[in-house]
Amino acid sequence: MNQPTLFDLEAFTKTGSSPVYAYDPFWDELTPQDSHSVGGQISEADSPCESVGEQVATDTQKSAPQHDTHWIEEYWVERCSNKYWYYRYCWMQGRKIHRRYLGSVNSKLARHKKADVEVWISDGQSPAEIQRLIQCWGESQKRSHF
């Protein structure tokens, strides 16, 4: 088509002219695959890797079940095929779960922090107050290192 007839709609809307199809032998070489999955679906055999960053071992046993807005969780992280266990304080804000690291389960300081947070939860402290108290621990540790 030349330039003047490029935008001439009559050339495209004329009835009676059938489109011309070109034969492509590539389509004869294709064989249908036995795939019953669509798009991003995967089969059970192609399941994703099990060693993901951090994992919670079992259903979290909340330290104060009457307060479902915040709890302490024990979780693990796998590095070089070794599992490292940690404590963290979790709280709900709206529908989002926020987490604050407390320390390793092997650490005496982390076990004391966990016990303190459990007491604060059972005493009815709000998540904002507990966050502030946990943050104070970090600031006092920074001051003691200087």
Residue 21 tokens read as 């199809």
CA-based torsion, 90, 91, 92, 93: positive or negative: negative
Q: At residue 47, what are phi and psi to the nearest 5 degrees?
A: -65, 150
pLDDT on residue 72: 92
Predicted confidence (pLDDT) per residue in 32-72, tens digit: 665 555 555 555 555 555 555 666 655 655 554 554 688 99
Cβ contacts of 137 within 8 Å, gap of 6 or more: 113
Cβ contacts of 133 within 8 Å, gap of 6 or more: 116, 120, 125
- Return the domain boundaries, the chain: 54-144
Residue 38 tokens read as 């669509």
pLDDT on residue 67: 46
